[in-house]
Structure 1
Amino acid sequence: MLREQPFITLIMDPCSTPPMHRSAARFTFLLIAVTCCSFFFLVAHAQKQPALASENNVSTRCVPREREALLAFKHGISNDSTNLLATWRPGQDCCRWTGVTCSNQTGGHVVKLDLNGAFSFYPPLVGQISPSLLSLDYLEYLDLSSNNLEGSNGSVPEFLGSMKSLRHLDLSYVPFLDRFPSHFGNLTNLEYLDLSFTTFFGTLPPQLGNLSKLLHLDLSWMQSVQSTDISWISHLHVLEYIDMSNITLNSIVNLPIVANMIPTLKHIILSNCSLPSANQSIAHLNLTELEDLDLSGNYFGHPVASCWFWNVTSMKSLRLDGTYLHGPIPDALGGMVSLQHLDFSYNGNAATMTVDLNNLCKLQTMYLDSSLSSGNITEFVEKLPQCASSKLSVLSSPSNNMTGTFPNTMEHIISLITLILTNNSISGAIPPGIWNCTSLEYFHFGSNRLSGQIPLLPRSLRIFEVPMNFLSGVLPLELEAPNLQNLILSFNYITGEVPRSICESQRMAFLDLSNNLFEGELPHCPRMPNLRFLLASNNSFSGKFPSWLQSSSSLVFLDLSWNKFYGSLPTWIGDMVNLRILHLSHNTFDGDIPVNITDLTRLQYLNLAANNISGLIPPSLSNLDGMTLKHPSGSSEDNSYSMAFDESQDLFSLVMKSEVLKYGAHGLVALIGIDLSLNNLTGGIPNEITSLSILSNLNLSWNHLSGKIPANIGSMKSMESLARPLKEQPFWRYPTKLVGFDIFKLPGPVI
C-alpha cells in the first residue's frame, strides 16, 4: 500500500517510535483528512464485486410483497440524515428506489440492497435492521456498512443467519456491541463477508469454516476479538483475500501451515495480531498465487532470514514494519521479481541489508525507516534496481546510521518521486544529478553531514528539506522550482541574500530560513497566497518589517527574531488575521505597539522582547481571543492544522489545539504567552490583560512601567510564570518553562 507523503518535516528525532498502524491518511489538515477518508471509502467500495444475477435494467415493476418489506425496513430507521431513503414511498416502483436493484432473471425480485454510508461524513442511517428483509427471498447483495444500525441493544440480528441466498454481506463500520455471532456460519453461499471496524468481542467461532464459497473475508480492526484456533480457515478452499488485522492471535503457531492449505490465497493481512513468530518451516509451499502479505505490527524478534515466506516469488507487496526482525535480510529478497512494495521500517535498527536488488524491476516503493544497523549510502544505491525501465518511486531510509557520500550519478533512481534519507550520517555534496530527476517531488535529507552549496533543483520539486546539515555558500540565483511548497534550510551555514527567484514558488506554504548566515533584506514576495509559516530567525536579515506580508492573509507562524530589522511595526499588522505565533524579539524595532495588533484574535504567542519599543501597553490586548477561553485554539472554524507536522520523526511539532507547542530542538512549551521585556514601555500594566484567561507566560520585565500590579492578576488560573529567563537566550534555546522572577519597579503592594 502506498503511504501518503508528509506535508512538513523538519528536524529528525532518532528516538521517535512508529504508529501502531499506518493507513492512508497521514498529514494533518481537516479538509485533506476528510478528502482522504472519502477517497479511501470510494476505493474500498469500488473493489467490491457482488457477482449479481443481472443489471437493474428491469422491465417489470417490483414485487408488492418486497416493496412492503423495504418500507418496513425504512420504518425501523429513526434518523435518515442524508435523505438516503427519500425515494422510498408507498405505491412507487421499489426497483427505482435509491440503493435497490432488481433483476429480470428473477421476475423483478430485489437482488441487491446497497445502503452503505461511506460517502457521508456522518452515518446517514440510524436505527435497527428490520426482520422484514427475510421477505427478500432473492437478495444476494446486502451492504449496510457505515451506518448506525445496531439498534437499541447493539446486538446483531440473528435472522441475518437465515438469509441463505446472500452472496455478499457488508456490515463494516456498524457499531454492534455484541459477541461475535456464530450464525454467520449458516450463510453458506457467501462469497464476500466484511465485518471490519465493528465492535464485536469474544472469540471467532469455528462455524465460519462452513463458508466454503468465500472469496473475500475481512474481519479486521474489530474491538476485542481473539482466536485460539484458526484451523477453520483451511476449509475456505477458494479464499483469495483474508484480513484479520488487530485480532489477537498470540497463541497461533500454525498460521503458515493453515494458509498453505489454501493455494488460492492472494492477500493475507494480519497486522497487529500479536502473532508470536514467523519462523515456521514449510516443506512444500503451495501459495503460488500469494501477492500481498502484511505481518506488520507483530513483535517477532527473531532473525529475518528464518521467516517462512522468502520463497514466494509471486509476492507483489510485503509489509514487515514494526516486527523487530533482525539480522541480514536474505538474498532470496533479490529473487522476488514481482515485488512492487516493500516495507521493512521501524524494526529497531538491528538488521543489515547487503542483498542485491538489481533485478527487482517492478519495485515501486521501499521503506526501511529505523531498521538498519548501518550501511554505506553509495553501496546501498548501487544495489537498487538497475533496470532500464525502473519504476522505483519511493525510497525511504531515515535513521539507519548510513554513512558515506551520495553518488554523483542518480541515473539508476531517476524515476524517484520521494527520497527520504533524514537522520543519517551521509556526507558530501547534494549530487548535481538531482536536476535530472524530473519526477522528484519530495527530498528529505535533514540531520546529515551534507556540505557544499545547494544545486539547481528539479522543477518538479514540491518539498525540499535539508535542515541540520553543514551546507554553505549562497543559494542559486535561480532556484528553478516553481512548485515548491516546503523549503526547509534551517540550521546550516548558508550565506548571502535570499534570491528573488524564491518568490516564483507561489505554492509555498512553509519557508524556513532560520539559523543560517543570511543577510540583506527578505525578497519582496507578495504573490505567495498559501504561505503559512515563515521562519527567518537567527540570521542577519535587515530592513523594515516586510511590507509584502500585508498580503499574506494565510500566515499562521511568523518568526523574524534575532535579526537586524528596524523601524516601527506597521499599523496593518492586524490584517494577518490567521496569525497564531508572532515572534519579533531581538531586533531594533521602535515606536509604539500598534493598536491594530489586537485585531489578531487568533494570536496565541506574542514576543516583542529586546527591541526599542516605547509607549503604553495597549489595554486592547484583551481582544486577543486566542489567549482566552472565548476562542480556544482547537475550536476555531479553521481546524485545518494542529501544527503537528511530522513524519513521526520530527522534533518540530506545534500542537496548537492543546496549548502546547514545541519549536526546534529546545523550543518553548506551554507557548500561550506575551513577552514584552527589554523594551522602553511606560505607564501601567492594564487591568484588561487579566482577561486573557489561558495566558500561561507573561514577561514585562526590564521596562519603565509604573503603577500598581492589577488586583485580579491572581484570577489568571493558567499563569505559570510572570518573569523572564535568568539569562536571555535565543528563542529556540529557551527552557520549556520560564524560571525565576525579575524585579518590577512598581510602587505599592500587590493587591
Structure 2
Amino acid sequence: MDCRRGSSSGTRAAGRTRGTRCWPSRKTSPATLKASSRRCRWKGVTCSNQTSHVLELDLSYGMLAGQTSSSLLSLEHLEHLDFSYNDLLSGHDGRFPEFLFSFKNLRYLALSKLSFASRVPVQLGNLSTLEYLDLTYADFLPGEVPPQLGNLSSLRYLGLASRYLYSTDISWLVRLHQLEYLDMGGINLSTIDNWLHVVNMIPSLKSLSLGNCSLPRANQSLTHINLTKLEMLELSMNYFGHPIASSWFWNITSIQVLELSSTYLYGHFPDALGRMTSLSRLGFQKNGNSATMAVDLKKLCELIYLSLDGSLSSGNITEFIEKLPRRSSSKLYNLSLNDNNMTGIMPQVMGNLTSLIALSLSNNSISGSISPGLQNFTSLEELFLSSNNLSGQIRLLPRGLEILDVSMNFLSGHLHFGAPNIKVLILSSNKITGPIPEKFCELQYLRDLDLSNNSFAGELPICSSMPYLHSLLLSNNKFSGKFPSLIQNLSNLTLLDLSWNKFDGTLPIWIGDLTNLRFLDLSHNMLNGDIPGNITHLRQLQLLNLSFNNISGSIPQSLSNLTAMTKIHMPGPTPTGPDWYTGWINNEFLEILSAVTKHQQHKYGPQSILYIVGIDLSVNHLTGGIPDEMTSLDGLRYLNLSKNCLSGNIPNNIGGMELVESVDFSWNNLSGEIPASLSDLKFLSVLDLSYNNLSGRITSGRQLETVYDNNPTMYDGNTNLCGPPLQRNCSSGNSDPEHGSDKASGENSESLFFYFGLVSGFAVGLLGVLCALLLKKP
C-alpha cells in the first residue's frame, strides 16, 4: 500500500465525502486489496459497514498510469468505480478493458478524460444497473455514439461530451425514462433536425448540454412542452442564425441557467424573458452585436450572473441598469456588458447593484465620470471600464477592489489610491498627471501595474518591498531621474517597461539580480554608460531593448547565458503556462508590450507575448565587435544593432541563429565579407546591412533573394560589395578590397590637388586685385 499524502491529487480526492480512503499502490493487486484487513481504511476505498465488501473504488485525479488487471473482478460487489483523470485504464493494446462489462452491480462508472485506442464500446449497454455514466472528453477513436446506451434504463446521469463522436439518430434517448442530466457537448448532431422532439420526450431532464453540436436550429414548434423540470440549458456555439424570440425555450420558467453564447440569435429578446423568475444565469456573449434588450428584468430576483458581451447592437447604460432587479436584496454579482456599442452617461447612483462582485462595461461609448458612489459597493472586486469616453478624476474606490481596468479613456488629474488590496491596476492611455504618490508603496498585494501612455512625471517613490509585483509598465510618460531604485526590491518582477521617459544615468549593476525578468524595455530614455556585464545573468530574459539611449562601451560577451533566447529553453506558445503568463491571459490585458521588429512597431497582447524573443541595442554609441557568442542564441527572432559604432566582422556562425526573422546591422563600421551562413536562415524576412564597410561578393541564396526583393536598399552604402543582386561586377576589380581602396585613395588625392590649385589660384588673383587698387590711391 502507498498512502500518498500531501499531494495535490490526494488532496482533491480526500476532499470527497463518501467513506474512508487511501490510495492503493500500483503493486497492490485487487485480490490482496480484498484480503487486507485494513482495506476499508484506505483512501479511495469504501466498504459496506455490514459485510466489509468493497463497494466503491475512487482513484480519480490520482496521476496513475499503466495497465489495469482483470483481477479487479474479485471485487464482485463493486457499485462505484471512478478512474477519471488518469492514464490507468488502457489495456496492453490501448483498447477499452472489456472485463469492466462484467460488474453486474455497478451503478456508477466515471472514465472522463481517459484515452482509448478504440471506439465507444457497445457493451456498455449491458451494464443494466448503471445510474451514472461519465465519459466526458474521454478520447475514443472517431465514431458514432452507440445506440445500445439506450438499454441503460436506470440511467440518471449521462456525460458523453466529446470532440470526435457523432450521431445521426438519438431516438434511443427516449428509452432513458429517468435521465436527469445529459451532456452531449461537442458531438456532431448536424443531421438531426428533430433533436428537440426527442429530448422533449424525456420529461425527467433537469440539465441539457448540447453546446457545439452543430445543431441546425432552435426555432422548432412544440405542441406541448414536457421539459417542465429543466433547470440548465446549454446551447452555446451552435449557429442558429434566426430571431431570438422564435426559440422554443422562453416559456420554460423552471430554467435557472441559460447559455446561448455564439449562437448568432438576433433581434429583440422576448418579453417572456422577464417572466423566467427562476433564472440565475444568462450567458449571451459573442453573438455579432445584432440583438436588442428592451425587456424589463426587475422580476428576475434570482439573477446572479448576466453577460451579454459582444451581442447588443446598441443601448443606453442608464436605461439598461434601471431594468435590472431593484430590490435591496438583489443577488446579482456579475454584470458584463463589454463590446456592446452602449452610450449614455455613467450612472452616479446604482443602489440596486451593491451586491456586485464584478462589473464589466469595457469597449463601449459611455461618458461621464466614475461615480464616487462606487465606494459603497463593498463586495466589488473587479471593475472593467476600459475603452470608453470617461473623464474626470478617479475618486475613492471600493476598499475591497482587486482588479481595476480603466485604460483608454480621458481620465485626468492626479492619482489617488483607495483600494489597499488591489492586485491589478491598469490606467494606461489616459491623461493622468503628477507623480506617483507615496501611498503606492502600501499596495502590498499589487501584482500588475500599467500606467503607460499618460502624463505622469517626477521620480518613482522608494518602496521597501512589493513582493507580488510581476509587471510594471510605465512607458510613454514624463518620469525622470536616475534608474529607479524601487526596482531593486521587486524580486518577482517579470516584465519591466520604462520606455519613452526621461530616465538618465547608468544602468545599475544590481539589474542582473532580477533573475525573474523576461521582458526588459528601457528604450527611448537618456541612459548612458556601459551595459553591465551581469545583465547576462538574466537567464529568463526573452526581450532586451536598450535602443535610443546614450549607452557606450561594448556588447557584453557572455550572451550565451541568456538561455531563454535559445530553442531548448525558450517558452512555447501554450494556452496555459506559468503564473506570470496565465495572469495576463485571465485579465485580458489589451496590449502588454510593444517592440520594433522588421522595421515596424508591433503591439503584443497576452496571446502573442511568448513570441517576443529579441535584442534591440540600436541608436546608441556602442563600440567594439559583435560577440561571436551572440550566434548561440538560436531561439532569437529579432536582432537590431543598427546606428552604433560597431566594427569588425559579422560573426561567421550567424547562420546558427535558426529562428531569426529580422537582422539589422545598418549604419555601423562593420567590415569584411558577408558570411555565407546567412543563406541558412530560412525564416529571415528582413535584413539590413546598409552603410557599413563590407566588401567582397554578396552571399547568394533563395531566401536572401526574396529578402532583397522586399528591401532593395539592404546593401546600400557598402561601396566594396559586388555581385548579384547589385549591378556591380566583381570581375572589374571590385572584389579586391585593397586595390579598390587604393583606387579610391588615388581618386581622392587627385580631387584634393585640383581643389587646392583652384583655391590657390583664386587667392593669388584676389591678392593681385587688392594690390592694383592700393597702387591707384593718390
- CA deviations over 1:231-265 (Å, ceiling 9, x no partner): 22222222211111111111222333222322222
Q: TM-score, normalised by structure 1?
A: 0.82
1:101 to 2:39 alignment:
no
- Is contact 2:461-2:486 (8 Å) kept? no
- Is contact 1:85-1:98 (8 Å) kept? no
Which runs of structure 2 are paired with 1:572-591 in the superposition (5 Å)? 572-591=510-529
Q: CA deviation at 1:652?
A: 2.6
1:113 to 2:59 alignment:
no
Distance of aligned partners of 1:40 and 1:307 in 2 relative to their CA distance in 1, 3 Å threshold: farther
SS in 2 for 1:268: strand
- Is contact 1:697-1:721 (8 Å) kept? yes
Distance of aligned partners of 1:596 and 1:638 in 2 relative to their CA distance in 1, 3 Å threshold: farther
- Is contact 2:90-2:96 (8 Å) kept? yes
Q: CA deviation at 1:275?
A: 1.2
Match of 2:26 among 56, 80, 87: 80
1:741 to 2:685 alignment:
no
Q: CA deviation at 1:364?
A: 0.6
Q: CA deviation at 1:183?
A: 2.1
Equivalent in the alignment of 2:490: 552
**Counterpart-to-counterpart distance in 2, 1:96 and 1:268:** 38
Q: Which amino acid aligns with 2:79?
A: E
**Counterpart-to-counterpart distance in 1, 2:154 and 2:608:** 59
Q: CA deviation at 1:339?
A: 1.0
**Counterpart-to-counterpart distance in 2, 1:267 and 1:687:** 64
Equivalent in the alignment of 1:295: 235
**Counterpart-to-counterpart distance in 2, 1:494 and 1:548:** 21
Match of 2:584 among 638, 645, 648: 645
- Is contact 1:705-1:745 (8 Å) kept? no
**Residues paired across the two proteins, number:** 667
Distance of aligned partners of 1:204 and 1:653 in 2 relative to their CA distance in 1, 3 Å threshold: farther
Which runs of structure 2 are paired with 1:6-45 in the superposition (5 Å)? none
- Is contact 2:482-2:503 (8 Å) kept? yes
Larger Rg: 2
Distance of aligned partners of 1:404 and 1:91 in 2 relative to their CA distance in 1, 3 Å threshold: closer
Equivalent in the alignment of 2:96: 156
Per mean C-alpha deviation after superposition, the further-off stretch among 187-196 and 567-576 is 187-196
Q: TM-score, normalised by structure 2?
A: 0.79
Match of 1:628 among 566, 574, 578: 566
Q: CA deviation at 1:117?
A: 2.6
Distance of aligned partners of 1:84 and 1:319 in 2 relative to their CA distance in 1, 3 Å threshold: farther
Which runs of structure 2 are paired with 1:250-265 in the superposition (5 Å)? 250-265=190-205
Q: CA deviation at 1:623?
A: 2.4
Greater helix share, structure number? 2
Q: CA deviation at 1:101?
A: 3.1
Q: Which amino acid aligns with 1:565?
A: F
**Structure 1 vs Structure 2 CA RMSD:** 3.4
Distance of aligned partners of 1:703 and 1:141 in 2 relative to their CA distance in 1, 3 Å threshold: closer
Distance of aligned partners of 1:321 and 1:520 in 2 relative to their CA distance in 1, 3 Å threshold: same
SS in 1 for 2:499: coil
- Is contact 1:318-1:341 (8 Å) kept? yes
Q: CA deviation at 1:706?
A: 2.7
Q: Which structure's relative contact order is higher, taking Cα pairs within 8 Å and 6+ residues apart?
A: 1
Distance of aligned partners of 1:416 and 1:154 in 2 relative to their CA distance in 1, 3 Å threshold: same
**Counterpart-to-counterpart distance in 2, 1:740 and 1:666:** 27
1:542 to 2:480 alignment:
yes
Distance of aligned partners of 1:99 and 1:615 in 2 relative to their CA distance in 1, 3 Å threshold: closer
- Is contact 2:481-2:504 (8 Å) kept? yes
SS in 2 for 1:698: strand
**Counterpart-to-counterpart distance in 1, 2:337 and 2:179:** 35
Distance of aligned partners of 1:296 and 1:635 in 2 relative to their CA distance in 1, 3 Å threshold: closer
Equivalent in the alignment of 1:519: 457
Q: CA deviation at 1:94?
A: 4.5
Match of 2:612 among 671, 683, 686: 671
Q: Which amino acid aligns with 2:95?
A: S
Q: Which amino acid aligns with 2:114?
A: V
- CA deviations over 1:396-452 (Å, ceiling 9, x no partner): 111111111111112111111111111111111112211111111111111111111
- CA deviations over 1:555-590 (Å, ceiling 9, x no partner): 111111111111111111101111111111111111
Equivalent in the alignment of 1:216: 157
Equivalent in the alignment of 1:686: 627
Q: Which amino acid aligns with 1:140?
A: E
- CA deviations over 1:361-414 (Å, ceiling 9, x no partner): 111111111111111111111111112200111111111111111111121111
Distance of aligned partners of 1:561 and 1:742 in 2 relative to their CA distance in 1, 3 Å threshold: farther
Q: CA deviation at 1:309?
A: 0.9
1:389 to 2:329 alignment:
yes
Distance of aligned partners of 1:214 and 1:446 in 2 relative to their CA distance in 1, 3 Å threshold: same
Which runs of structure 2 are paired with 1:200-215 in the superposition (5 Å)? 200=140, 201-215=142-156
Equivalent in the alignment of 2:219: 279
**Counterpart-to-counterpart distance in 1, 2:619 and 2:368:** 43
- Is contact 2:666-2:690 (8 Å) kept? no
Q: Which amino acid aligns with 2:634?
A: S
**Counterpart-to-counterpart distance in 2, 1:687 and 1:156:** 56
1:703 to 2:644 alignment:
yes
1:570 to 2:505 alignment:
no
**Counterpart-to-counterpart distance in 2, 1:104 and 1:518:** 70
Equivalent in the alignment of 1:146: 85
Q: CA deviation at 1:184?
A: 2.0
Per mean C-alpha deviation after superposition, the further-off stretch among 265-274 and 184-193 is 184-193
**Counterpart-to-counterpart distance in 2, 1:490 and 1:645:** 15
Gaps in structure 1 of 5+ consecutive residues: 1-33, 50-54, 58-73, 727-735
Q: Which amino acid aligns with 1:168?
A: Y
Distance of aligned partners of 1:717 and 1:597 in 2 relative to their CA distance in 1, 3 Å threshold: same
Distance of aligned partners of 1:159 and 1:598 in 2 relative to their CA distance in 1, 3 Å threshold: closer
**Counterpart-to-counterpart distance in 2, 1:680 and 1:666:** 35
1:713 to 2:660 alignment:
no
SS in 2 for 1:101: strand
- CA deviations over 1:44-79 (Å, ceiling 9, x no partner): x76xx8xxxxx789xxxxxxxxxxxxxxxx9xxxx9
Q: Which amino acid aligns with 1:683?
A: G
SS in 1 for 2:33: coil
Which runs of structure 2 are paired with 1:449-488 in the superposition (5 Å)? 449-476=389-416, 479-488=417-426
Equivalent in the alignment of 1:601: 539
Identity of aligned residues (%): 53
